[in-house]
Amino acid sequence: MGMSIFLSKSFTKAFIGALGYAIAVLPVSAANAENYRVTDQAAYKKAVKALQPGDTLILANGEWRDFEMVFEARGTKDQPITLRAETPGDVIITGRSNLRIGGAYLIVYGLTFKDGYSPGKEVVSFRRDSNTLAHHTRFTENAIIDFNKPDRTSNDQWVALFGKNNRVDHNYFAGKTNKGPTFAVRLNTEESRANNHRIDHNFFGHRPPLGGNGGETIRIGVSDYSRTRSDTLITRNYFERRNGEVEIISVKSEGNRISENVFYESRGAVVLRHGGQNTVSRNVFFGNGVSDTGGIRIINENQTVTGNYFEKLRGTKFLSALTIMNGVPNSAINRYHQVKNALVANNSFLDVASVGFAVGADEERSAPPLDSAFKNNLLVTDSDMPVSVFDDISGISFSENISNNAAFAPYGAAIQPEIDLVRAENGLLYPPQTGKFSSVGAPRDLVPVKRSETGPSWLEKPAQKIKDARVIDVSSGSELSQAVLQSLPGDSIVLSGATYDLEAPLVIDHALTLRGASSASVKAQLKSHGPSIFILKEGARLTLENLVLGATDNNKALLHAKAKNYRGAYSLAMTDIVVAAPAGEALPIPVLDTDAETFAEQITLDHFVIRDWGGPVLSLSGEGLAGWYLADDVTITNSVFENLGGPLVIFGREGRDESTFGPRFSLIGSTLTDVGQKDYALYLNAIDGLILRDNHIVRSGAVYIRRRVLGMPFSIADTVFQQSPKPQVFDEAGKAMDLVQNGAGK
Ligand code: CA
């Protein structure tokens, strides 16, 4: 697995004497303080009971397995009590383990939770039990990595903050794949409210899409307590590729500040979901053109969004760089309160796909924003439709904005077609500091937190980008198998021979390209005598180009996305691929088969040709999975499907949850002839976004489309149905909807 590889290679051991480090980072112990070094669980339990203010309890280096730790003690402001690793990074807590903390003035330092899972609801909990919470406690320089329950639908949290005045800082969190927020601030009793917690300088590394609700990174409160104050500060953290679901931070309480954090290529948004009087200021969002990268979404009263910087974000609708939602009149506490008195000022929106007002307007969400202001913002974008408005926005006053894009003229923006942006020393783009420009956009004194300033000092983070790729040439099946085994993320393997016979499937678990040599006179053909040619594991980013995929009687599929437990998403891109069926027999197997525990971020087929095949091409049925589904985005372009048992695609999903990015399906510029004549040519049950354009569908079966959440792009245009039934479109409840070709979808 990708994550395990980087850990074993790059965990740097900090050979710093315990005392030396303690002096550098932690309060100096008093002269009479004791150090207890323990090597087993029994000794730990005994030592905890003896702890006095100023003492330190040291876990000896090594593996601690099946360790349900309770750290209950009472230090003082000047003499806290510390639980720490002997050497940070060398104390590994694994198996069925967790940590419950109760008391006051405690410090937990240098622990690593890895490759296990909590038998309870939390991995690290700031309460021993409901009567004994932790206060004035610091959790610093620890790591929680791949610590997941075996079943992705079981819910837990990696860190649950209770009590008051706690600090969680300089920790590393990455790889959560089961349901539940990575980090939760809990407000269920008075003792945990108005808590003054500080969450700072943590590194939140990759969280793959969950494919359902509950993939947040941080949640503050829940809707039941959302009218109470939390007063939590989230500052100078680094959020990298936090792709779990549409909410990266879900604020469900009042009085919180989210300030000076960096969001890097994170698919999702900071969402002021419930509760008012929150401030989101001076944060930096770098989307780098990655799909579904979002900004800030506003719901409820008295929210302030100022001084933020958004660059190259590609999210739309709920994931726009800025989304101001419509509310529900007299909303129930768990729905959408109307936006009132929101201030959105001095933000820079640079090369973003969308800014949206009154988003989510529908029969239920019919209350547009009121008494709000959008001013002094800088909007520089060449997007065709940079503003989306879904209802009356007379309740927002627009003033003193500047944009290069005439689309913003109705929104209080002076239009200046040429705006020269220069990257300043802080890494951010600014216009010239003259005249009216000096009062718009993000402040010039922003200092985005550096990646290196976050996380534990003892832990080397994985590289942010894939290293320069190697290109490896192979001429036989055995060479190919070897090359795949030894490949590193980002490598390309070039197939210059004609045929590649494989004894067993190629197992892919990282970014890898297999490409037929462009100089070859015939496309290289792959064939496997195992159950499939490829097995796609979590983390696979497989690109296939210019190849023939052959089938044998042993095959159960040509590609098989395989997992017993969900441990992360995969993606698949196929370009210039021909599928060769054995002569004279139409194998009734899918080209891509997917286990119910897998999830694809993206599947693309371009210039893909398949004829005389007995089964479906893409089998992505999430039927019976209660809200979970198997692929976010499937896009097929310029492809040919002829004489298939079909369907071309089987897609399934249940429920109405809006926490996910998809599912979405596009079929463009393609021909289907004699596909799924007996039943379905396309079976899409159910999807959010759909584009069918410029296709030719001949003598094929039914096209079944059940829409789920409305509001995503949906259009059927210039698609010819010849001797084939017209598509049947149904709403979420299964009621037939009118089909309008070439009409704008709603
Ligand atoms: Ca959510």
CA distances 112 to 11, 38, 41, 140, 184, Å, are 11, 16, 16, 11, 19
**Same domain membership, residue 357 and residue 429:** yes
451 domain-assigned? no
**Cα-atom radius of gyration of the chain, to the nearest Å?**
27
* Domain count of the fold of the chain: 2
For 95-149, write each residue's pLDDT tens digit. 999 999 999 999 999 999 999 999 999 999 999 999 999 999 999 999 999 999 9
Distance 327 CA to ligand 1 centre (A): 17
Distance 566 CA to ligand 1 centre (A): 18
Confidence of residue 469 (pLDDT cuts 50, 70, 90): confident
Distance 216 CA to ligand 1 centre (A): 6
pLDDT for residue 356:
97
Q: Which residue has the higher pLDDT, 658 or 561?
A: 561
**Same domain membership, residue 522 and residue 415:** no
pLDDT for residue 742:
62
53 domain-assigned? no
Distance 37 CA to ligand 1 centre (A): 42
Distance 661 CA to ligand 1 centre (A): 11
Distance 659 CA to ligand 1 centre (A): 5
For 452, residues 6+ apart whose C-beta sits below 8 A from its C-beta are: none
Q: List the helix and strand counts (H, then E) for the chain.
A: 4, 70
Distance 244 CA to ligand 1 centre (A): 9
pLDDT for residue 320:
97
Distance 649 CA to ligand 1 centre (A): 28
* Token representation of residue 735: 């009621």
pLDDT for residue 621:
83
Distance 191 CA to ligand 1 centre (A): 25
Does residue 652 register a pLDDT over 90? no
Distance 534 CA to ligand 1 centre (A): 33
Distance 461 CA to ligand 1 centre (A): 27
CA distance linking residue 597 with residue 608, whole number of Å: 26
In the block, tokens 């829940």 appear at 222
291 domain-assigned? yes
**What pTM, to 2 d.p., does this model score?**
0.90
For 666-718, write each residue's pLDDT tens digit. 999 999 999 999 899 999 988 889 999 999 999 999 999 998 877 788 899 99
CA distance linking residue 249 with residue 202, whole number of Å: 14
pLDDT for residue 221:
96
CA distance linking residue 251 with residue 598, whole number of Å: 29
**Same domain membership, residue 432 and residue 572:** no
Distance 10 CA to ligand 1 centre (A): 33
**Same domain membership, residue 499 and residue 425:** no
Q: What is the mean pLDDT of residues 273-289?
A: 97
**Same domain membership, residue 512 and residue 424:** no
What are the two backbone dihedrals, phi and then psi, of residue 484, each rounded to the nearest 5 degrees? Answer: -65, -45
Does residue 26 register a pLDDT over 60? no
Distance 114 CA to ligand 1 centre (A): 25
For 332, residues 6+ apart whose C-beta sits below 8 A from its C-beta are: none
Q: Three-state SS for 715?
A: strand
Q: What is the mean pLDDT of residues 474-497?
A: 96
Distance 657 CA to ligand 1 centre (A): 9
Centre a 10 Å sphere on the Cβ of residue 411 and count the other Cβ atoms it contains: 20
675 domain-assigned? no
Centre a 10 Å sphere on the Cβ of residue 388 and count the other Cβ atoms it contains: 16
pLDDT for residue 653:
83
pLDDT for residue 30:
55
**Same domain membership, residue 586 and residue 517:** yes
Distance 268 CA to ligand 1 centre (A): 10
373 domain-assigned? yes
Distance 536 CA to ligand 1 centre (A): 27
pLDDT for residue 312:
98
Mean pLDDT (the chain, rounded) = 92
> Rounded to a whole number, what is the largest CA-CA distance in the chain?
90
Buried b / exposed e along 138-176 (16+ C-beta atoms within 10 A): bbbbbbbbbbbbeebbeebbbbbbbbbebbbbbbbbbbb
pLDDT for residue 746:
37
Distance 454 CA to ligand 1 centre (A): 25
Confidence of residue 2 (pLDDT cuts 50, 70, 90): very low
Q: What is the mean pLDDT of residues 569-573?
A: 97
- Beta 736-737 vs 714-717: how paired, if at all? unpaired
**SS3 of the chain: helix, strand, coil, percent, to 5:** 10, 40, 50
Distance 250 CA to ligand 1 centre (A): 7
CA distance linking residue 90 with residue 143, whole number of Å: 11
104 domain-assigned? yes
Distance 245 CA to ligand 1 centre (A): 7
Distance 714 CA to ligand 1 centre (A): 24
Determine the residue type at 245.
E
Give the CATH number of the domain where residue 241 resides: 2.160.20.10
What secondary structure does DSSP assign to 294-360, as a single string? EEEEE-SBS-EEES-EEES-B--GGGSSEEEE-B-TT--TTS-PPPBS-EEES-EEES-S-EEEEET
**Same domain membership, residue 325 and residue 242:** yes
**Same domain membership, residue 486 and residue 546:** yes
Sign of torsion, CA 98 173 109 249?
A: negative
Buried b / exposed e along 71-100 (16+ C-beta atoms within 10 A): bbbebeeebbbbbbbbbbbbbbbbeebbbb
What residues have their beta carbon closer than 5 A to ion ligand 1? 213, 247, 659
Distance 212 CA to ligand 1 centre (A): 8
pLDDT for residue 235:
98
What are the two backbone dihedrals, phi and then psi, of residue 40, each rounded to the nearest 5 degrees? Answer: -145, 170
Range of the domain at 357: 90-437
Distance 209 CA to ligand 1 centre (A): 12
Q: Which residue has the higher pLDDT, 714 or 430?
A: 430
Q: Three-state SS for 205?
A: coil
**Same domain membership, residue 385 and residue 308:** yes
What are the two backbone dihedrals, phi and then psi, of residue 190, each rounded to the nearest 5 degrees? Answer: -55, -35
Domain end, chosen from 615, 640, 675, is at 615
Distance 658 CA to ligand 1 centre (A): 8
Q: What is the mean pLDDT of residues 373-383?
A: 97
Confidence of residue 225 (pLDDT cuts 50, 70, 90): confident
Distance 246 CA to ligand 1 centre (A): 7
Distance 371 CA to ligand 1 centre (A): 27
Distance 698 CA to ligand 1 centre (A): 42
662 domain-assigned? no
Domain end, chosen from 379, 414, 437, is at 437
CA distance linking residue 608 with residue 558, whole number of Å: 14
Cβ–Cβ < 8 Å for 311, 426 = no
**Same domain membership, residue 115 and residue 220:** yes
Distance 228 CA to ligand 1 centre (A): 20
Determine the residue type at 383.
S
Determine the residue type at 107.
I
656 domain-assigned? no
Distance 213 CA to ligand 1 centre (A): 5
Nearest in space to 325 (alpha carbons), one of 364, 351, 293, 353: 364
CA distance linking residue 98 with residue 96, whole number of Å: 7
Does residue 8 register a pLDDT over 60? no
Confidence of residue 23 (pLDDT cuts 50, 70, 90): very low
Distance 206 CA to ligand 1 centre (A): 17
Distance 182 CA to ligand 1 centre (A): 12
CA distance linking residue 522 with residue 497, whole number of Å: 9
pLDDT for residue 6:
33
Distance 332 CA to ligand 1 centre (A): 17
CA distance linking residue 148 with residue 150, whole number of Å: 6
What are the beta bridge partners of residue 62? 91
Distance 214 CA to ligand 1 centre (A): 5
Distance 238 CA to ligand 1 centre (A): 20
**Same domain membership, residue 132 and residue 257:** yes
Q: Which residue has the higher pLDDT, 448 or 739?
A: 448
**Same domain membership, residue 417 and residue 513:** no
Confidence of residue 4 (pLDDT cuts 50, 70, 90): very low
Domain end, chosen from 390, 415, 437, is at 437
pLDDT for residue 656:
74
Q: Is 486 exposed, middle or buried (0-12, 13-18, 19+ CB in 10 A)?
A: exposed
pLDDT for residue 625:
67
Cβ–Cβ < 8 Å for 681, 672 = yes
Distance 565 CA to ligand 1 centre (A): 21
Distance 632 CA to ligand 1 centre (A): 16
Q: What is the mean pLDDT of residues 613-630?
A: 83
Distance 602 CA to ligand 1 centre (A): 21
Distance 188 CA to ligand 1 centre (A): 19
